[in-house]
Amino acid sequence: MFTERMVFLNRISVHTSEIAQAAKTLRAGDSILLSGTVYTARDAAHKRICTLLDQGEPLPFPLENATVYYAGPTPTPPGLPIGSCGPTTSGRMDVYTPRLLDLGLKAMIGKGERSAPVVEAIRRNGAVYLCAIGGAGALAAQCVRSLEVVAFADLGCESVKRLEIKEFPLVVAVDCQGGDSFAQARATARGDAV
């Protein structure tokens, strides 16, 4: 149960099955170790998912309380579950994100700032945006226990994949109260009171 979460070296351990509950208490700047199921999807996959929604077709994974990782893993080397899988710039998905959040998406993992409409949709839906370390795809891959392509195989590295992860280190960038680590950093740099 999330109320019994453990804290390791000031990092909060969170399982994706508890992300909806965890999102209520996580705050911008919190460091977490995320375990559980995440789905990779970049802009091409997001476009197809929204087309499926427009057509009333089933989606490749349930959006309710889901966690999406904006990543396109490289080919899997022999003996490993995945190749390098660093985060993609999240702003590329901003045009699709409010709709997916309104349909139940609870967490997104990526890098970089989000637009004002996305920050508002995160707040409105009690969700959370998590940042991974850019440029550290090989390190991120060490947290992946398994990979399964679940949709759009023709997109290659941009196909939707179900990953099982363990203790993936992330930072809360935008919380469900509207706290925004990027806005806070800009305010601090300007010398504004935060």
Catalytic positions, please?
46
What are the C-alpha distances in Å from 178 to residues 88, 126, 142, 174? 22, 9, 31, 6
Q: 3-state class of 161 per DSSP?
A: strand
31 exposure class (CB count in 10 Å sphere: 0-12, 13-18, 19+): middle
Pairwise CA distance, residues 69 & 61, whole Å: 13
Pairwise CA distance, residues 145 & 176, whole Å: 29
Q: 3-state class of 127 per DSSP?
A: coil
Residues 6+ apart with CB under 8 A from 96: 43, 46, 47, 49, 50
